[in-house]
């Protein structure tokens, strides 16, 4: 069957919530994917920053197979070993003290929002429930996460949203300060805005937020769902900045393609949740946690972070050269293997042309193209991607 035949079947039975490209992907190896018709694609989208170890990683598959043969699911009414081991790895390699496991980025954000509310009420009183987030942010699609998301285009038709979320301007400390009151329990932001157009925070902004949160005793919470787990060349984006949060949300790359999310808190706040305060049937799933163990091992012990730093710098250099040549590229920004180019025109057509030529890219807002390849990408593959992109840029 062809792509189009499958798409016809899909359209009949799957809700129309995505503007999908017309290809049905069936297999992958390394940084490449194939569709049902056997056409090969260089994957610089990684399922939107998910396939951190690329496709078909043998160690990941073996760990999942072995775990699935042992036990595939285990209720959180009991303990399972991979969850404890994955949590230990996250804790031993971070500033955090304890983990709550869930299944996605939005859930990791929900957990953080709930922790913030509980903190506010316990520490400062019933009136303390407001959470400040940033305009242009993206935190997910559940009601809490979509309220935290500072983009009205994602919120239309959903009113009333959650109460008590205020939006500040990203990288504008004064605009945050204006919103802070005795009602504020937390500030939530992405160290690098992803969906919002690959916009890194200024270090000075984060430093000032850190001081403000210390002074007022409110939580600083980072959404590292997209920029965490090696994307920046550091295990966590907060390390790249040297400005520590109190709470972090993770997902995407953590399972290397297997669904898992996590929320972590530093020691001072890690025992705020008690039994019954929060839960997830599948959270800490043994198969998902065994996948996370493989990803974390690869990043921490097998040189993947060094690869991200080296290839990230190379990708940036190649994009900067393109910017010199093509005036429609107005900016190149990002960190490590989370890079973006801003264009003076909408990018949808360019992304589509690249896909037709065998390069998977993804937009971030109307005028930004995102480059989030698997963290194992090499120089030759970056050259290949840039060549395809340049062919398209010459045409538009
Ligand atoms: C920064 C950020 N937070 C949260 C989410 C939501 O994650 P999920 O789609 O896994 O719910 C995303 C997804 O793109 C994201 O980029």
Which of 254, 275, 301 finishes a domain? 301
Q: How many angstroms does the Cα of residue 396 sit away from the middle of ligand 1?
A: 31
In the reported structure, the alpha carbon of residue 266 is separated from the centroid of ligand 1 by a whole-number distance in angstroms of 22
Q: How far is the CA of 228 from the centre of ligand 1 (A)?
A: 11
- Which residue, 284, 301, 318, sits at the end of a domain? 301
For a ligand 1 pocket test, name from 225, 258, 372 the mutation site with the most ligand atoms within 8 angstroms of its C-beta: 225
Query: Which atom of ligand 1 has the smallest separation from the CA of 194?
Result: 16
Q: Pocket of ligand 1, candidates 113, 133, 138: which has the most ligand atoms within 8 Å of its Cβ, to mutate? A: 138
Report residues of the chain scoring pLDDT below 70: none
- Atom 13 of ligand 1 has which residue's CA nearest to it? 140
User: Same domain, yes or no, for 239 and 295?
Assistant: yes
Cβ neighbourhood burial of 175 (10 Å; 0-12, 13-18, 19+): middle
The count of other CB atoms within 10 Å of the CB of residue 81 is 14
What pLDDT does 67 receive?
98
* Residue 191, CA atoms < 13 Å, CB-side half-sphere: 32
- CA 107 – CA 101 distance, rounded (Å): 9
Instruction: Return the residue matching tokens 């496709």.
Output: 55
Q: Chain centroid to CA 175: how far?
A: 25
Q: What is the pTM of this model?
A: 0.98
Q: Are residues 309 and 283 in the same domain?
A: no
Same domain, 285 and 142: yes
Task: Give the Å distance between the CA of 225 and the centre of ligand 1.
Answer: 6
Q: Domain holding 390: CATH number?
A: 3.90.1150.10
Whether 296 and 169 map to the same domain: the answer is: yes
Q: Quick count: other Cβ atoms within 10 Å of Cβ 74? A: 17
CA gyration radius, the chain:
21
Q: How far is the CA of 252 from the centre of ligand 1 (A)?
A: 7
Residues 81 and 197 in one domain: yes
Which ligand 1 atom sits closest to the C-alpha of 252? Answer: 10
Domain co-membership, 308 together with 293: no
Same domain for 273 and 209: yes
Its domain, for residue 390, covers: 3-56+303-395
Q: Cβ distance 209 to 187 under 8 Å?
A: yes
Assess whether 249 and 232 both reside in one domain. Answer: yes
- The backbone region for 316, taken as left when phi is positive above 0, alpha when psi lies in -120 to 50, beta otherwise, is alpha
Distance 141 CA to ligand 1 centre (A): 8
Please give the distance of CA 196 from its chain centroid, rounded to a whole number: 12
Number of domains the chain contains: 2
Which structure tokens are listed for 237? Answer: 């984006």
Q: How far is the CA of 251 from the centre of ligand 1 (A)?
A: 8
Query: Are 311 and 288 contained in the same domain?
Result: no
Nearest to 340 by CA among 325, 321, 362: 362
For residue 310, give every residue at least 6 positions away whose Cβ sits within 8 Å of its Cβ, in sequence order, or none: none
Which of 266, 301, 336 is a domain's end point? 301
Same-domain pairing of 170 and 239? yes
Tens of pLDDT along 61-86? 999 999 999 999 999 999 999 999 99
| Ligand 1 atom nearest to CA at 142 | 11
Nearest CA to ligand 1 atom 3: 139
Q: What is the distance in A from the centroid of ligand 1 to the CA of 90?
A: 19
Which of 47, 106, 256 has most ligand 1 atoms within 8 Å of its beta carbon, as the pocket-test mutant?
106
Looking from the CA of residue 193, the nearest atom of ligand 1 is 1
Q: Residue 140 CA: which ligand 1 atom is closest? A: 6
Question: What is the Å distance from ligand 1's center to 181 Cα?
Answer: 28
Beta strand segments in the chain, E: 25-29, 32-35, 40-43, 98-102, 130-134, 165-168, 184-189, 192-193, 199-200, 219-223, 247-250, 261-265, 329-335, 338-343, 359-360, 362-363, 368-371
Residues 38 and 68 grouped into a single domain: no
Which residues line ligand 1 at a C-beta cut-off of 6 Å?
Answer: 48, 104-106, 109, 138-140, 190, 194-195, 223, 225-226, 251
Residue 197 sits in the same domain as residue 308: no
């Amino acid at each position: 069957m062809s792509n189009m035949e499958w798409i016809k079947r899909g359209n009949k039975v799957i809700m129309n919530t995505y503007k999908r490209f017309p290809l049905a992907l069936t297999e992958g190896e390394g940084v490449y994917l194939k569709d049902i018709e056997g056409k090969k694609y260089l994957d610089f989208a990684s399922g939107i920053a998910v396939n951190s170890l690329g496709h078909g990683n043998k160690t990941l598959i073996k760990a999942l197979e072995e775990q699935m043969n042992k036990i595939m699911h285990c209720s959180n009414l009991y303990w399972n070993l991979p969850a404890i081991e994955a949590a230990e790895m996250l804790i031993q390699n971070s500033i955090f003290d304890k983990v709550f496991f869930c299944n996605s980025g939005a859930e990791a954000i929900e957990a953080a929002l709930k922790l913030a509310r509980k903190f506010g009420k316990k520490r400062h009183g019933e009136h303390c429930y407001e959470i400040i987030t940033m305009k242009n942010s993206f935190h997910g699609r559940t009601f809490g996460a979509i309220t935290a998301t500072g983009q009205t285009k994602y919120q239309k038709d959903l009113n009333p949203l959650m109460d008590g979320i205020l939006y500040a301007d990203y990288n504008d400390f004064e605009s945050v300060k204006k919103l802070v009151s005795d009602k504020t329990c937390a500030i939530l932001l992405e160290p690098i805005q992803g969906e919002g157009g690959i916009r890194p925070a200024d270090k000075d902004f984060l430093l000032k937020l850190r001081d403000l949160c210390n002074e007022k005793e409110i939580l600083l919470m980072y959404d590292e769902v997209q920029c965490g787990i090696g994307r920046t060349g550091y295990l966590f984006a907060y390390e790249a900045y040297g400005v520590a949060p109190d709470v972090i949300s993770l997902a995407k790359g953590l399972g290397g393609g297997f669904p898992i999310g996590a929320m972590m808190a530093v020691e001072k706040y890690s025992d705020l949740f008690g039994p019954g305060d929060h839960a997830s049937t599948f959270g800490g799933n043994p198969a998902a946690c065994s996948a996370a163990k493989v990803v974390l091992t690869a990043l921490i012990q097998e040189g993947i972070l060094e690869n991200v730093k080296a290839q990230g710098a190379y990708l940036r250099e190649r994009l900067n050269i393109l910017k010199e040549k093509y005036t429609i590229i107005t900016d190149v920004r990002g960190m490590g293997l989370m890079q973006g180019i801003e264009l003076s025109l909408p990018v949808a057509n360019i992304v589509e042309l690249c896909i037709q030529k065998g390069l998977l890219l993804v937009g971030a807002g109307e005028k930004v193209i995102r480059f989030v390849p698997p963290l194992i990408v090499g120089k030759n593959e970056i050259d290949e991607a840039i060549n395809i992109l340049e062919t398209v840029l010459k045409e538009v």
